[in-house]
Amino acid sequence: MNIETLQSICHQLPGVTEDIKLDHHLCFNVGGKTFLFTGPDSVPVTAAVKVPDEDFEETLQKECFSPQAYIGRYRWVHIADISCLSHKDWEFYIKQSYRLIADKLPARVKKQLNIAGE
């Protein structure tokens, strides 16, 4: 697994943009809101995604996951090495995080981004 694969998964979703935040984190956004943080300069490469409230504790029991510093209380999990998860797992967690963030966007933004039906 590499950062280019994560980019490819993200860019299959409607309205996705990417930018650099906090000086060195490559972030993937929808409607200006981040749904995936990555640390491409870290060795190994790290990432963070949002998970549903009801799945947070269970997700933390899985290998590779820990609460994300500073934002873990908002149900963000840290993956210490992106190669720890399979392509299929990454598709699941990226799409889940995307939906959690996109669902909270204002209706007009969803419509502009063509994600009203997501």
End-to-end CA distance of the chain: 26
For 69-106, the pLDDT digits (tens) are 877 778 999 999 999 999 999 999 999 999 999 999 99
What amino acid is encoded at 8 in this protein?
S
Domains of the chain in start order, with CATH, are 3-112 (3.90.1150.30)
pLDDT at 45: 93
